[in-house]
Chains A and B, each alone.
Chain A
Amino acid sequence: MTSLTIPESTARTPDLSAPLRRSWTPKWARTSFLYVGLWVAFVWSVFPFYWMIATSLRAKDEIFARPPGIIPHSFTFQNYIDLLVGAEFWRYALNSLILTISVTVISVLISVTAGYAMARHRFKGSVALPLFMLYGQMFPPVLLLIPFYIQLRWLGWLDSLYGLIPVYLSYMLPLCVWLMRGFFSQVPHSLEDAARMDGCTRWQAFWRVILPMARPGIVAVATWVMIHTWNEFLYASTFILSDKNRTLPLGLSGLIGQYTTDWGVLMAGGVITAAPILIVFFFLQKHLVAGVGGGAVKG
């Protein structure tokens, strides 16, 4: 069948810009097939997200109505009010915020210097160390969980937010260093040499020239750390015991009741937990597009 269509397709289409041409089906059929596929994938991907928002905006009797209707009949913010009136949710959000900021600041500071040194200088281990960092990311968290538990218990840091900081660093730092090294090695050597020729010290060249150039990379790494710390559940649920130290994901899972669960409030909490991530994502894209390259060498 294909051999029959060859002369026809090559003769009819001198324009070769459509690489995946299958010439035995008409164009409109292929296009509609493509859009059907896209719509199926889109609905499949977005539906749970839609369902979370829809549930959070429904009144309680409608949530537990049977059969469930796909489109809400009436909108209410009662679930959000129920969620935000209590002090717990704010405490969880504050805990998550404190933890996210401290872990992000520490891991960015440390990985910036280490990544820079690995990208720029040759020293003993400058080749093996980055690879080791990459391997460090592979270790299963369940293996780290037990020694962490023993250590935190020994230090008396169980059930504390600051006890979680070193734990989260183990989960974030290796990949941060690896990524930072990648970003710094993309900054041209000539820039730093020029700065040094102009009389900058090592530190000034790094601080005034290299760091601004690597900013998109730093933003990307920082965003990655922020998102993962904000979402982390396993370590927090193991090491945080008391209600007042819970983070947001932990607080959310705590809303699951043994017998009944108020799904409207839970889904409202889900929307609020997901919102900062979605916003950060939006900004990340802007930064990455605006920052990369910059044409500093040309100018």
Chain B
Amino acid sequence: MTARAQPAPALKRTWSSIFETGRGARIYPYLMVLPAVVIVVGVVVYPVVSGILSAFFDVTLRTLNSGDMPFVGFRNFQRVFADPSFGLASFNTFVWVVLNVVAQLGFGLALALLLHRIVPGIGFFRSGILVPWVVPSVVAVLTWRWMYDPSVGIVNEILVRLGIIDAYHPWLGDTATSLYAVTVESIWKGTPFVMLLLLAALQLVPKSILEAASMDGASGWRKLWYVILPQIRVSFAIAAVLTFILTVNNFNAIWLMTEGGPLNSSEILFTLAYKYGFQRYDLGMASAVATMLFVGLVIATTLYLKLIQASEGD
């Protein structure tokens, strides 16, 4: 009220009035964006470019100390391909990603459908099922490592009592089971997030469509397949892409349970690159693996987003 009565503030020169008109008004948005852009260029763009570049140079502790890093072309890649553990890690990454994505999307959808119903006590179940998502990942992984303990672990005890196994098994110490044991933890941790995404999508499905389907005599499964899934298709695809990215980049689960062992049986490309870089200190080789992962991630994500857009078109 008082501001309207006296027109003075518009004329008073304050430090901010230079941004009101003319050139000041034009540069104002740039000034506001500038800090974020500078930091992102400094800590994201520059490192990504320099990380890809260092895949083509001989970067080790020795060359870092001398300051002279020779260009070696594709030799880092050749050395990576010659390493037998790279083949194993690639295969493991494939298994790891497929199992995680399929299981998390499947269980996530099942949980979302269960939790979508409004029944007494649903809030209790919802908050309980979100627990794995809320627990810090390091804490979760260490807890699972304890549960997998070969001599007094509760997982062994439960499986023995259920009659599934006869004797305690070193799940993380056996080359045949280590990757799958870690996968179970990862599925446990990741499913609630997928569930949240899909639950939000389910709640946007119009009730009228479901009612129409019921009137036409569609059974539960047919309704799920022909009505609900097409409706939540976009969210489902987004959940798939996110799960894919998070799984490829899931370092904590594998590193804190097995460190990729025993005998590289649970090694994925991420942990392999980490070992090249920070155990052997051959940063060039590590960058080569990381660059391949990066290219794979970008291609897969772009392809998937294109697929979604294409299916949106018709």
Query: What residues of chain A have their CB less than 8 Å away from a CB belonging to chain B?
Result: 2-3, 5-6, 9-10, 16, 19-22, 31, 34-35, 37-38, 41-42, 44-46, 48-49, 51-52, 55, 63-68, 70, 110-111, 113-114, 116-118, 120-123, 126, 129, 133, 136, 138-151, 153, 166-167, 169-170, 173-174, 177, 198-204, 227, 230-231, 233-234, 238, 249, 252-253, 256, 263, 266-267, 270, 273-274, 277-278, 281
Contact = CB atoms under 8 A, between A and B. Distances in A.
Given A114-B33, A123-B30, A170-B47, A41 B114 contact: yes
Contact of A41 (B44, B111, B277, B291): B111
Contact of A45 (B20, B131, B255): B131
Interface residues of B, number: 101
A45 B192 contact: yes
B135 A117 contact: no
Interface in B137-163: 137-140, 142-147, 149, 151-154, 157, 160
Interface string B251-273: 11001100000000000001001
Contacts of B37: 114, 129
Contacts of B297: 138-140
Nearest to B139: A270
Given A41-B111, A126-B29, A52 B143 contact: yes
B51 A144 contact: yes
A150 B283 contact: yes
Contact of B64 (A110, A120, A136, A150): A150
B4 A146 contact: no
A118 B29 CA distance: 8
A22 B219 contact: yes
Contacts of B207: 19
Contact of A44 (B3, B140, B188, B249): B188
Contacts of B43: 166-167, 169-170, 173
Contacts of A281: 134
A231 B192 contact: no
A145 B274 contact: yes
In this complex, the member of B51, B125, B153, B248 whose beta carbon has the largest number of chain A beta carbons within 10 angstroms is: B51
B75 interface: no
In this complex, the member of A52, A147, A204 whose beta carbon has the largest number of chain B beta carbons within 10 angstroms is: A147
Contact of A234 (B32, B114, B217, B251): B251
A31 B210 CA distance: 19
Contacts of A263: 146, 149
Contacts of A51: 143, 146-147, 154
A110 B211 contact: no
In this complex, the member of B139, B140, B290, B291 whose beta carbon has the largest number of chain A beta carbons within 10 angstroms is: B139
B3 A113 contact: no
Contacts of A116: 32
Interface stretch (B9-17, B83-91, B97-105): B9-17
B152 A201 contact: no
A237 B238 CA distance: 31
Contacts of B136: 227, 230-231, 249, 273-274, 277
Nearest to B135: A274
A146 B214 contact: no
Interface of B: 3-4, 7, 9-10, 14, 16-17, 19-20, 26, 28-30, 32-33, 35-37, 39-40, 42-48, 50-52, 54, 59, 64, 110-111, 114-115, 117, 119, 122, 125, 128-132, 134-140, 142-147, 149, 151-154, 157, 160, 188, 192, 207, 210-211, 214-215, 217, 219-220, 223, 245, 248-249, 251-252, 255-256, 270, 273-274, 277-278, 283, 286-287, 289-291, 293-294, 297-298, 301
Nearest to A67: B157
A173 B39 CA distance: 8
Contact of B142 (A34, A66, A145, A256): A256
A123 B30 CA distance: 8
Given A116-B32, A278-B134, 13 more contacts: A19-B210, A19-B211, A20-B117, A22-B219, A42-B125, A45-B132, A146-B286, A169-B39, A199-B7, A234-B252, A234-B255, A256-B256, A281-B134
Nearest to B4: A198
Contact of A133 (B40, B211, B289): B40
B44 A136 contact: yes
B287 to A, nearest CB: 5
Contact of B137 (A9, A231, A238): A231
A278 B157 CA distance: 29
B249 A266 contact: no
B9 A199 contact: yes
A233 B154 contact: no
Contacts of A138: 245, 297-298, 301
A17 B291 CA distance: 53
Contact of A143 (B139, B144, B217, B294): B294
A115 B37 CA distance: 11
Contact of A46 (B119, B131, B283): B131
Contacts of B145: 256
B157 A151 contact: no
A154 to B, nearest CB: 8
A201 B12 CA distance: 11
Nearest to A199: B3
Contacts of A233: 137-138, 251-252, 256
A261 to B, nearest CB: 8
A238 B36 CA distance: 26
